[in-house]
Structure formats: structure tokens, C-alpha cells
């Protein structure tokens, strides 16, 4: 008999301001996130991964509001920072809320690897040598694995954000073994992206704040609103993923 899958949500790029009435790209990031939550709850998530840029200004109030919005949402919530986040404030508030900073989570027979790619003061990201050597060892186990990182390791075809990638993305991707790593999923790009490279799926979670239409040199607002990515993970390694909107 097939076991029920583990339902995992990836929430990214909330960009909440200190002021809950503040605007991000002329929209309310609080209202947009809240408008998405009913659709996310209907998926009955078993776990959530927040992949950074929670707070536009890195302020305490933004993290505290996210914790209140996600109250009772799900038992397992994990997170990584993005370039807009204040790592120490995020760690303090999310840690107190019981959120998991990884770097490894074990959910539904799957392994989740949470990578911190943030370089202080830099909108681009980089992974450390220690991270890369740890990633090379993942292939020694065939446990199905998802890797989460804020910055994209490859260009997504939109110049406005491709200027700020994971600077050692090629080296990162070369460390991964498709025997265990099924997918790498990132945030940062505010658009939907899917690409296969050497048997590993590279995905983005679009933003819960404001998204851009894909393939534009400048940020060009996507009128279809805030989104998140979902995963269904079966213990034998089968998986599926897609994007969910508020509507």
C-alpha cells in the first residue's frame, strides 16, 4: 500500500516592512502574504520551509508578525536567511518560536538540507568551502534529499535579478549527486523557474510579496499575485511539486 506523502510548503520573499501598513513595490506585503495563507492551509502542510527575505529591512517587527501569521499553521517550520534578513534577529525570534534552522531536517523519509548563502552587505550569495565539502558527501547516502538555498545557482533569464546570483553556483551544482538529491529549490528571484541539470531539478519558489513576470530585464509586476511552492514527498523517493496562488 502506498503511504501518504509528506506535504511541504516553501514560503519565500515575504519582504515585510517594520510598519505593517508599509508598501513594497507599491503593494502591501502583509496583505499579500495573508491573502495566500487560506490556500496554503487547505493543502494541510506537514512542514514549511521559509527561504529568506522575510523582512525587507531586517527589523524585529517583521519576524514577529510572520510568527503570529503562522501560529498553529504547521508543526514543523524551518528557515534560512536571505540577503535582506538580519540573521541574528531572525535566529532569535524564529528560534524562540521553535522554528528549525537546520542545517538538516528529516521529514517524511526525506532529508532537507538548509544552506545559508548570505554574505553580509551583499545582495549576491556564496556558499562556504565547508558547505561544498558537506554537499559532496550527500551522495554517499541514497536518502531522497531536497536542498534549499536563498540564491539561485544558475541564471533564471531575468537581468534584474541575475545580477545577484549564488556566485559559486557552478561549483555548488557540481557537488550534487542525483542519486540522492532530487531537487534544489531557492527563492530570491520573485518568479517561477524550473530547469533540469544532470538529473536534478532546479526550482524557485515565487514570492509571497510581489512577483515579476519571467524573462524581463527589469522587474515587471506579475498581476497574478503572491505565490508559494508545494512539494508532495513519498517515502520511497517519488515526489511532485507545483506553485499555488491565493485564488
Sheet with 239-245: list strands edge to edge: 76-80, 47-51, 6-11, 227-233, 239-245
| Among candidate residues 110, 69, 112, 84, the one with its CA nearest the CA of residue 24 | 84
Select the residue interacting with Fe ion from 65, 188, 190, 229 (CB under 5 A): 188
State the nearest-atom distance from the C-beta of 188 to Fe ion, in Å: 4
CB within 8 Å of 117: residues ≥ 6 apart: 80, 125, 126, 127, 149, 150, 151, 166
Select the residue interacting with Fe ion from 10, 83, 158, 241 (CB under 5 A): 83
Q: Give the range of 33-41, 76-84, 93-101, 237-245 binding Fe ion by CB under 5 A.
A: 76-84
The H or E element containing residue 76 is: strand 76-80
Sign of CA dihedral 217, 221, 226, 231: negative
When asked if residue 191 is in the footprint of Fe ion (CB under 5 A), the reply is no
Select the residue interacting with Fe ion from 16, 24, 47, 53 (CB under 5 A): 53
Q: Give the range of 2-10, 45-53, 178-186, 200-208 binding Fe ion by CB under 5 A.
A: 45-53
When asked if residue 82 is in the footprint of Fe ion (CB under 5 A), the reply is yes
Q: Give the range of 43-51, 64-72, 183-191, 234-242 binding Fe ion by CB under 5 A.
A: 183-191
Count of residues engaged in binding Fe ion, rule: CB under 5 A: 4
When asked if residue 125 is in the footprint of Fe ion (CB under 5 A), the reply is no
When asked if residue 116 is in the footprint of Fe ion (CB under 5 A), the reply is no
Q: Residue 98, class by beta-carbon neighbours within 10 Å (0-12 exposed, 13-18 middle, 19+ buried)?
A: exposed
3-state secondary structure at position 81 = coil
* Positions that interact with Fe ion (CB under 5 A): 53, 82-83, 188
Amino acid at each position: 500500500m502506498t503511504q501518504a506523502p509528506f506535504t511541504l510548503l516553501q514560503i519565500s520573499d515575504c519582504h515585510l516592512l517594520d510598519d505593517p501598513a508599509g508598501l513594497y513595490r507599491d503593494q502591501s506585503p502583509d496583505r499579500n502574504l495573508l491573502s495566500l495563507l487560506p490556500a496554503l492551509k487547505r493543502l494541510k502542510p506537514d512542514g514549511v520551509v521559509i527561504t529568506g527575505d522575510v523582512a525587507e529591512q531586517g527589523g524585529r517587527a517583521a519576524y514577529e508578525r510572520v510568527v503570529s501569521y503562522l501560529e498553529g499553521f504547521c508543526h514543523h517550520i524551518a528557515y534560512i536567511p536571505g540577503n535582506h534578513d538580519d540573521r541574528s534577529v531572525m535566529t532569535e525570534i524564529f528560534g524562540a518560536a521553535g522554528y528549525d534552522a537546520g542545517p538538516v531536517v528529516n521529514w517524511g523519509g526525506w532529508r532537507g538540507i538548509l544552506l545559508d548563502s548570505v554574505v553580509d552587505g551583499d545582495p549576491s550569495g556564496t556558499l562556504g568551502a565547508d558547505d561544498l565539502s558537506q554537499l559532496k558527501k550527500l551522495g554517499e547516502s541514497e536518502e531522497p534529499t531536497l536542498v534549499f538555498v536563498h540564491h539561485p545557482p544558475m541564471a533564471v533569464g531575468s537581468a534584474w535579478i541575475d545580477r545577484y546570483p549564488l556566485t559559486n553556483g557552478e561549483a555548488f551544482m557540481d557537488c550534487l549527486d542525483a542519486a540522492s538529491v532530487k531537487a534544489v529549490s531557492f527563492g530570491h528571484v520573485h518568479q517561477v523557474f524550473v530547469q533540469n541539470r544532470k538529473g536534478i531539478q532546479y526550482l524557485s519558489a515565487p514570492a509571497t510579496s510581489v512577483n515579476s513576470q519571467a524573462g524581463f530585464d527589469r522587474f515587471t509586476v506579475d498581476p497574478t499575485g503572491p505565490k508559494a511552492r508545494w512539494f508532495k514527498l513519498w517515502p520511497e523517493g517519488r515526489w511532485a511539486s507545483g506553485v499555488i496562488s491565493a485564488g
